[in-house]
Amino acid sequence: KQITADHPKVSLLINNAGIALNGSIEEISLDNFELVLTINFRAQVALVKALLPTLKQTPGAHIGNVSTLFGLVAPAGQVAYASSKFAVRGFSDVLKMELKPLNIGVSTIYPAGVKTNIARNSLKGDHLDDKKAAANNTHFEKLLTMTPERAAEIIVGGIEKRKSRVLVGGVARLFDIIARLMPGSYGGLVARFMK
């Protein structure tokens, strides 16, 4: 209620929330898995529910739900994060069909390699070795090379064109193709890339 009171006219919602959690299913607790789902997925659902009445009042309104590269491919050791981002992808796909008759556009956004603090601030699985977690964070941080400003340009451009899918960066485009061509066997390629 507070959001709609503060913003009675909304024409664009960009849903972006992210917290990472290092660890396999055996290395993380259910509590931490739930925390990642709450922040990365349920928060997006809640904002859409809260703002949909006002979005419906604006012809041509648009929703941009930020998934990630790990909403296209799911690497080992990222079970909670990838699960939450695949959930965003599925939620967005349903919204596209449900909201099209209302002339509300929906874009699913797949950033890859954007230089943010997500790797540095990644949570550690309860049963994950501290040294392994630190090494994972350092390694992932090196893969983040695109500036947030460049990512924002691509995202805004995709939304302006009302694209259904916005792939941010060459890595996202590459792994989108790999996931489509090798849906059951891309794991080895993803693992090699991550190394």
The catalytic residues are 81
Residue 102 CA to residue 155 CA, distance in Å, equals: 23
Cβ-contact 135, 194 below 8 angstroms: no
Cβ-contact 22, 128 below 8 angstroms: yes
Burial zone of 53 (CB within 10 Å; 0-12 exposed, 13-18 middle, 19+ buried): exposed
Angle at 188 (CA atoms; ends 18, 125), nearest 5 degrees: 40
Residue 183 CA to residue 180 CA, distance in Å, equals: 6
